[in-house]
């Protein structure tokens, strides 16, 4: 990987209060599942540890902002923290510093990351051109703020996708679009056919919506009433979910009546809303899609010209899966944080190419669906998302905590 991004070797440095505020103000735009924003960052001045005073970061988790039912292995949680770290690092790099991760302890709600703010031009390291290129940050705090998911219609753009994937892959030679890399840090991105995606989506939608605990947990993060203060703070707003206002009001009325809520009814409404957004396309594709072809070729890379043509002709977005090796034990929090940073940079590269993503974590959370997204049983999806050009001029933005 772009080693300079993860293991900067510069000297510890001190940030001004204004710089700290800038980092915090930018990094909060990092993405997180259900927009829980589970990070609790704290910058401190370390006086005693080195000859010079410098700024250290302690990053923790707010246990109230985790998803124990939907994310029992804390994968999405750790990915989101990785996104936050990368957003913070991008902000720092703009001013000649960077984040050096010193220690990762605990897991899930007990995850604890210690980092040091260091000078980003590491002496003796930026000698070769390639090392120098690696330390140049492509993204700015504005890019961090501008990126957003779009759950509306996304249109394919193969050339833009190509640009983004090329730029992303170039940052880390271990990431690949075609071959599996080595070691547990390797990530692989694949584009799957519409038929494969659609079947995986069908399987996962059924599995998740029929799970009452998952549904209840999601309900707690749904923001249906724009008059509530939380609507401007966190969670999934009706606006960003593209739930029409009257439907959102109806759902809110049901949910608002308390725990005796006829959950199955809300459940059906949410399903109706979800189908309204993504289901129409899926249904059409399922009816016309060639199942045998889907079975024979569980995924095709971007090199599958046929897949691209089919995607283009149907105007479906690109369907992407980020794959990690299944070998051995589950990835450690350290590895997952690094994956979160890479995933986030991929979304930023897509945004840089004019594309937005629509994340579909249920596809990787439901094993039957996840299996469909990988060409190789030694790999499993860590993230699944569509990518394309937003059709709508105005994309509703997710709120953030102050
Ligand atoms: C690890 C991870 C998993 C996510 N999973 C989903 C998902 O399954 N469905 C979805 O609609 N959005 C998903 N998202 C997107 C978040 O809901 C989104 O980032 C958040 O609401 C903030 O919105 P923004 O990215 O537009 O700023 C996921 C994001 C992350 C980081």
Q: What is the tens place of the pLDDT at every residue in 34-92?
A: 999 999 999 999 987 667 899 999 999 999 999 999 999 999 999 999 999 999 999 99
Which amino acid residue places its CA nearest to atom 28 of ligand 1?
33
Check residue 4 and give its pLDDT. 40
Residues 187/175, Cβ–Cβ less than 8 Å: yes
Q: Which atom of ligand 1 is nearest to the CA of 235?
A: 21
Which amino acid residue places its CA nearest to atom 3 of ligand 1?
33
Check residue 212 and give its pLDDT. 81
Q: Ligand 1, from 26, 28, 29, 31: best to mutate by most atoms within 8 Å of Cβ?
A: 31
Ligand 1 mean position to 22 CA, how many Å?
A: 23
Q: What is the tens place of the pLDDT at every residue in 105-118?
A: 999 999 999 999 99
| Lowest-confidence segment of 8-17, 66-75, 181-190, 288-297 by average pLDDT | 288-297
Residues 209/215, Cβ–Cβ less than 8 Å: yes
Which amino acid residue places its CA nearest to atom 14 of ligand 1?
33
Distance CA 192, CA 298 (A): 8
Which amino acid residue places its CA nearest to atom 20 of ligand 1?
35
Distance CA 7, CA 98 (A): 9
Average pLDDT over residues 311-319: 78
More confident site: 279 or 90: 90
Ligand 1 mean position to 290 CA, how many Å?
A: 30
More confident site: 301 or 10: 10
Q: Ligand 1, from 34, 242, 320, 331: best to mutate by most atoms within 8 Å of Cβ?
A: 34
Q: Which of 78, 57, 58 is closest to 67 using CA atoms?
A: 78
**Averaged pLDDT of the chain:** 83
Select the highest-mean-pLDDT range: 218-232, 242-256, 324-338.
218-232
β-bridge mates for residue 384, sequence order? 321
Ligand 1 mean position to 43 CA, how many Å?
A: 26
Check residue 309 and give its pLDDT. 58
Q: Which atom of ligand 1 is nearest to the CA of 34?
A: 17
Ligand 1 mean position to 207 CA, how many Å?
A: 19
Q: Which of 260, 289, 220, 225 is closest to 69 using CA atoms?
A: 220
- Phi, psi (5° rounding) for residue 391? -80, -35
Domains and their CATH numbers in the chain: 3-146 (3.40.109.10), 154-390 (3.40.109)
- Look up the pTM and report it: 0.86
Per the listing, tokens 């109230």 go with 64
More confident site: 133 or 304: 304
3-state secondary structure of 257: coil
Residues with CB under 6 A from ligand 1: 31-35, 76, 79-80, 83, 148-149, 151, 236, 359-362, 398
Q: What is the tens place of the pLDDT at every residue in 367-396?
A: 999 999 998 999 999 999 999 999 998 999
How far apart, in Å, are the Cα atoms of 65 and each of 61, 365, 372? Answer: 8, 19, 30
Which amino acid residue places its CA nearest to atom 31 of ligand 1?
32
Which amino acid residue places its CA nearest to atom 24 of ligand 1?
148
Q: How many other β-carbons are positioned within 10 Å of the β-carbon of residue 136?
A: 11
| Lowest-confidence segment of 84-88, 114-118, 137-141, 260-264 by average pLDDT | 260-264
Distance CA 315, CA 145 (A): 28
Q: How many other β-carbons are positioned within 10 Å of the β-carbon of residue 256?
A: 11
Ligand 1 mean position to 45 CA, how many Å?
A: 33
What percent of the chain lies above the pLDDT cut of 70? 76
Distance CA 80, CA 201 (A): 23
Ligand 1 mean position to 361 CA, how many Å?
A: 8
**CB-based contacts of 286: which residues, under 8 Å, 6+ apart?**
198, 199, 202
């Amino acid at each position: 990987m772009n080693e300079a991004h993860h293991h900067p070797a510069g000297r510890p440095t001190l940030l001004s209060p204004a710089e700290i505020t800038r980092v915090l103000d930018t990094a909060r735009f990092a993405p997180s599942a259900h927009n829980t924003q589970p990070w609790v960052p704290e910058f401190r001045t370390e006086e005693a540890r080195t000859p010079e005073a410098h700024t250290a970061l302690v990053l923790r988790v707010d246990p109230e902002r985790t998803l124990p039912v939907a994310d029992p292995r804390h994968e999405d949680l750790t990915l989101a923290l990785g996104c936050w770290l990368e957003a913070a690092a991008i902000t720092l790099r703009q001013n000649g510093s960077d984040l050096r991760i010193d220690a990762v302890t605990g897991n899930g709600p007990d995850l604890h990351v210690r980092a040091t703010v260091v000078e980003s031009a590491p002496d003796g390291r930026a000698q070769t051109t390639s090392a120098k290129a690696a330390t140049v940050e492509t993204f700015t705090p504005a890019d961090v703020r501008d990126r957003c998911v779009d759950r509306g219609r996304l249109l394919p753009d193969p050339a833009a996708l190509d640009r983004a994937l090329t730029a992303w892959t170039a940052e880390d030679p271990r990431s690949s679009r075609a071959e599996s890399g080595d070691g547990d840090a390797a990530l692989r991105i694949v584009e799957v056919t519409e038929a494969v995606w659609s079947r995986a989506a069908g399987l996962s939608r059924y599995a998740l919506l029929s799970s009452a605990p998952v549904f209840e947990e999601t309900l707690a993060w749904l923001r249906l009433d724009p008059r509530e203060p939380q609507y401007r703070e966190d969670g999934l707003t009706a606006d960003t979910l593209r739930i029409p206002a009257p439907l959102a009001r109806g759902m809110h009325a049901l949910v608002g009546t308390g725990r005796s809520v006829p959950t199955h009814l809300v459940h059906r409404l949410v399903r109706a809303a979800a189908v309204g957004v993504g289901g129409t396309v899926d249904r059409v594709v399922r009816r016309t899609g060639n199942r045998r072809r889907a079975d024979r070729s569980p995924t095709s890379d971007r090199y599958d010209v046929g897949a691209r043509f089919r995607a283009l002709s149907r105007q479906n977005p690109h369907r992407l899966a980020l794959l990690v090796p299944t070998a051995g034990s589950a990835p450690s929090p350290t590895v997952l944080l690094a994956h979160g940073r890479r995933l986030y940079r991929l979304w930023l590269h897509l945004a840089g190419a004019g594309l937005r993503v629509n994340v579909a974590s249920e596809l990787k959370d439901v094993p039957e669906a996840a299996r469909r997204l990988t060409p190789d049983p030694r790999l499993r999806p860590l993230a699944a998302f569509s990518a394309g050009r937003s059709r709508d001029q105005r994309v509703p933005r997710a709120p953030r905590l102050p």
